[in-house]
């Protein structure tokens, strides 16, 4: 039985006022909503660009905005997109965007019956639709809780996982939402705050709220022009500064699961408008105990695979760091390895938990090792001190190393 994952999307409009077994690695994802069907007619080109932009998950619209590309009329189009995306380890969830009154259970069954290739179902119902269906917030929450329970049963019967996306207004949190939160594993928040400081503070506030329920949180950013809280008019430097600062602050919470961008059409417009943005940052994908890896879209071989020892992941010095232009120096007499890039120098010694980062002493929770004649060092410590993002995806057992500079 595949794990059931229910995703609840709550849009916080400004009105004026799970362990992976690898404790050292993140499971953060960068996600994007794909609404227009035109983006999946040529899946190879779009997936390549998503991959170069560091996207790990897409919510792919299957609603009837354009009958020509409706899922039930052209399932092979979606299957081709999913197959190519999965080859680059991009997850694809069916985004059922409904703007008319409908039954949540019926819509879930419709997608499941038509196609079981998706990594999940991302069901979204506009808040004003729910308000039309139910007389008041309390009744809405009661009915929503009932629907979520029934939808969860439906998903389990189809032996798949579910991402359920439902928009609620902030005022609903004044009521008892525990029954709903207890049904979900992940919450995606569209953060509509305009200033970076407010954006970070609001994100931290809701991370704390859902942390009380051990619920993962994915923070959404609006790219559509003329929308509240949009970053469309930010230049590359402004946006990079905001997202890096926010990611650092949000990562202080164990339930933070990454960033989402709404939607691909406007995200692409922003990328094109900011022509100086780097869309070719390197991404290396590795698996423990496997010498084959993927660097961007090319398969590479490393002579020593990553290994897991005592709950820690170790990475070979040669074959990994040099892929990103890091200079490597080995001193056999002192048993020291030095990693050097443009901004950072990291010195490590075999068997010692003491390291030196830019002349500052830093203590690690594990020490470099020599295994089968090869030098391996703690993955997270070395890479993050050199400015890389390191993600662990437990279901697929893959490690992603992504340039952030």
- Residue 370 sits in a domain whose CATH number is 3.30.457.10
The three-state secondary structure class of 290 is coil
- Predicted TM-score (pTM) of the model is 0.68
Query: Do the domain assignments include residue 1?
Result: no
Q: What is the pLDDT of residue 175?
A: 63
State the Cα–Cα distance between residues 337 and 324, nearest whole angstrom.
17
Mean pLDDT in runs of 10 for the chain (405 residues)? 46 37 58 84 84 85 60 78 87 73 64 72 62 62 74 73 57 66 77 90 90 87 92 88 89 91 90 65 83 81 85 83 86 89 88 90 88 83 78 73 75
Greatest distance between any 2 Cα atoms in the chain: 77
State the Cα–Cα distance between residues 345 and 359, nearest whole angstrom.
8
Yes or no: say if 213 and 178 are a contact pair by the CB < 8 Å rule: yes
Query: Do the domain assignments include residue 377?
Result: yes
Return the CA Rg of the chain: 22
Query: Do the domain assignments include residue 2?
Result: no
Query: Do the domain assignments include residue 358?
Result: yes
Which residue range forms the structural domain that includes residue 344? Answer: 283-403
CA pseudo-torsion sign 249, 251, 257, 261 = positive
Q: Which of 214, 241, 273 is the last residue of a domain?
A: 273
Do 233 and 328 fall within a single domain? no
Do 288 and 182 fall within a single domain? no
Q: Which of 273, 299, 320 is the last residue of a domain?
A: 273
Yes or no: say if 305 and 286 are a contact pair by the CB < 8 Å rule: yes
Do 178 and 307 fall within a single domain? no
Check which CATH number belongs to the domain holding 182 and give it.
Answer: 3.20.20.60
Do 220 and 108 fall within a single domain? yes
Do 256 and 342 fall within a single domain? no
CA pseudo-torsion sign 197, 199, 204, 205 = positive
Do 226 and 321 fall within a single domain? no
Do 314 and 268 fall within a single domain? no
Q: What is the pLDDT of residue 169?
A: 54
What's the structural domain count of the chain? 2
Q: Which of 204, 238, 273 is the last residue of a domain?
A: 273
Do 214 and 93 fall within a single domain? yes
Query: Do the domain assignments include residue 371?
Result: yes
Do 293 and 267 fall within a single domain? no
Q: What is the DSSP string of 3-43?
A: PP--EEEEEE--------S-TTSB--EEEEEE--GGGGSSH
118: nearest Cα among 147, 154, 159, 150:
159
Do 132 and 209 fall within a single domain? yes
Do 245 and 393 fall within a single domain? no
Query: Do the domain assignments include residue 233?
Result: yes
Do 328 and 182 fall within a single domain? no
């Amino acid at each position: 039985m595949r794990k059931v994952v229910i995703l609840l999307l709550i849009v916080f409009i400004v009105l004026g006022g799970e362990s992976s077994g690898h404790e050292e690695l993140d499971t953060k994802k960068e996600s994007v909503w794909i609404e227009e069907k035109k983006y999946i007619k040529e899946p190879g080109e779009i997936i390549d660009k998503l991959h170069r932009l560091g996207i790990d998950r897409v919510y792919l619209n299957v609603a009837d905005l354009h009958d020509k590309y409706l899922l039930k009329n052209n399932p092979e189009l979606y299957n081709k997109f999913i197959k190519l995306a999965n080859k680059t380890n991009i997850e694809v969830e069916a985004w059922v965007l409904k703007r008319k009154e409908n039954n949540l259970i019926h819509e879930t069954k419709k997608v499941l019956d038509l196609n079981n290739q998706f990594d999940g179902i991302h069901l979204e119902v506009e808040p004003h639709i729910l308000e039309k269906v139910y007389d008041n917030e309390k009744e809405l929450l009661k009915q929503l809780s009932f629907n979520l329970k029934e939808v969860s049963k439906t998903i389990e019967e189809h032996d798949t996982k579910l991402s359920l996306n439902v928009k609620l207004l902030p005022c609903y949190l004044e009521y008892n939402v525990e029954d709903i939160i207890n049904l979900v594993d992940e919450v995606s928040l569209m953060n509509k705050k305009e200033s970076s400081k407010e954006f970070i503070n609001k994100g931290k506030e809701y991370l704390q709220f859902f942390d009380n329920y051990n619920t993962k949180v994915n923070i959404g950013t609006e790219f559509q022009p003329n929308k509240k809280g949009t970053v469309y008019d930010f230049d590359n430097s402004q946006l990079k500064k905001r997202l890096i600062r926010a990611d650092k602050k949000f990562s202080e919470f164990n339930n933070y699961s990454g960033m989402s961008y709404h939607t691909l059409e406007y995200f692409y417009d922003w990328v094109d408008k900011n022509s100086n943005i780097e869309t070719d940052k390197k991404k290396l994908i590795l698996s423990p105990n496997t010498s084959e890896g993927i660097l961007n879209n090319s398969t590479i071989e490393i002579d020593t695979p990553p290994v897991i020892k005592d709950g820690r992941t170790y990475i070979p010095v040669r074959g990994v760091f040099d892929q990103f232009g890091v200079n490597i120096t080995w001193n056999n007499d002192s048993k020291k390895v030095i990693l050097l890039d443009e901004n950072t120098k990291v010195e490590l010694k075999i068997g010692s938990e003491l390291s030196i980062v830019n002349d500052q002493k830093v203590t690690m929770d594990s020490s470099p090792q020599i295994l089968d004649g090869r030098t391996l060092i703690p993955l997270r410590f070395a890479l993050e001190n050199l400015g890389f993002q390191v993600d662990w995806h437990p279901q697929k057992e893959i490690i992603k190393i992504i340039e952030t500079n």
